[in-house]
Amino acid sequence: MNQDLAVFIVPFALILACGLLTAGGLYFIDIRYLKNARYAVASLAAGAVVLAVLEIVLYGSSVGFLKEQQLKTSLCELDAESAHPEARRGADPVVLYKAITGCMKEAGYEWDAGHRHCKDAPVATNHFCYAPTAPFDRAITLLQMSFE
């Protein structure tokens, strides 16, 4: 998610989640703002879901998922160029490609050339050409990449 959009949405989501949790919790100590126990449980569950989504948004907009993928790609590029300085000067570019994609595979990413930015530049240093292998990380990263 765009960081500017996250800054706008986060305070409202936090207020909404706290309000839902408070309304649900108060019902069970006999302060009844809700109609019955079913609404109170639903309010508690909705508040917990909003907080969980908020945590994913905050984590994903700062250090996780796509940002982490960008960082790993840069680190793998640095490691590959440090290990094979002759390939950087044009001796054998396939060596760098294999080293970078191998490093990314070890880091938990696989080559995935499906993104439109990868189709524009399908090179090993393009972070859009990779996707995490873990299902949850993959889903969140692909969602973030759809906004790019």
State the SS3 of 116-136.
Answer: HHHHHCCCCCCHHHEEECCHH
> In the chain, which ranges are E strands?
109-111, 130-132
Q: Long-range contacts of range 35-44, CB-CB < 8 Å, 24 or more positions apart?
A: 44/20
Q: Which tokens go with 145? A: 């990449």
Banded pLDDT at 45 (limits 50, 70, 90): very high
Region 59-84: mean pLDDT is: 83
Region 16-36: mean pLDDT is: 90
Region 5-25: mean pLDDT is: 86
What is the pLDDT, as a whole number, of residue 55?
Answer: 82
Region 99-126: mean pLDDT is: 89
Banded pLDDT at 6 (limits 50, 70, 90): low
What is the pLDDT, as a whole number, of residue 91?
Answer: 72
What is the pLDDT, as a whole number, of residue 56?
Answer: 77
